[in-house]
Amino acid sequence: MNLNFLSGLLHLSDPTLPIGGYTHSNGLETYVQQRIVNNLQTAKEFVENMLQYNIKYNDGAFVKLAYNAAENNDLELLISLDNECNAIKCPKEIRQASQKLGLRLIKIFKRREHFPLMEAFEKAVQNREANSHYCIVFGVYAYLMKIPLYEALLGFYHTSVAGMITNAVKLVPLGQLDGQDILFSLYPVMEKTANETIELDRDMVGLCNTAFDIRCMQHERLYSRLYMS
């Protein structure tokens, strides 16, 4: 095993990476306050459904597309993908959160990793030609750091699932061991979803998830909030 690729993958997909992901629930706080997610089983269903029916067709798909664009050193395509990603994120909080996470990820890695393609992409962001969405930045760095596509997707899904579980443990609330049980149970789902993403039909990218979007939009009007989204 290439230890350099493994080290890079662990760093890039670390759920505790200081980019601010812990401040966002991506609509889960709304689901909890509406008592739709209220126990171990419904928390697991939320995370699994979010992974299989939302992230796979949206952020996960863009990780793959950005990875492929970086492989071809295609800055124009990266900018186009980033703008497409921006357009399909209807809830303002989710759209802004994704942009901030991407910017902070760039800020962390550019201190140590100097890649002309990422520097050109960051310049496009500064010129307001692109929006720095997290999934796009993740996909580009995954390729530039020589992380194989399947492992990059699995890492992306793992950090996404771990974040949702952490939020569920706090919000429902659940016990820490309950959260770990959810994570264990979703290993096969994450592996299956990573493989499915690699083969995903381009026409399926951006598949609408109306209920998730509505819950995210409702979040800003909740009586009390722990999270920003």
Q: Is the pLDDT of residue 61 over 60?
A: yes
Is it the case that residue 168 has pLDDT exceeding 70? yes
Distances (CA, A) of 128 to 34, 45, 95, 99, 124: 38, 38, 15, 12, 6
- Residue 81 in this model has a pLDDT that exceeds 90: yes
- pLDDT at position 64 over 80: yes
Looking at residue 3, its pLDDT comes to 57
Convert the pLDDT of each residue in 184-219 to its tens digit: 999 999 999 999 999 999 999 999 888 899 999 999
* 27-36 pLDDT per residue, tens: 999 999 999 9
Is the confidence at residue 171, as pLDDT, over 50? yes
229 or 167: which leads in pLDDT: 167
The reported pLDDT for the residue numbered 2 is 56
Mean pLDDT over 147-157 rounds to 98
User: Is residue 47 within 8 Å of residue 164, measured between CB atoms?
Assistant: yes
Q: Is the pLDDT higher at 143 or at 229? A: 143
* pTM of structure: 0.96
Confidence of residue 98 (pLDDT cuts 50, 70, 90): very high
Of the pLDDT bands very low, low, confident and very high (cuts 50, 70, 90), residue 1 is very low
User: Is residue 228's pLDDT more than 90?
Assistant: no
The yes-or-no verdict on residue 75 having pLDDT over 60 is yes
59-85: average pLDDT: 98
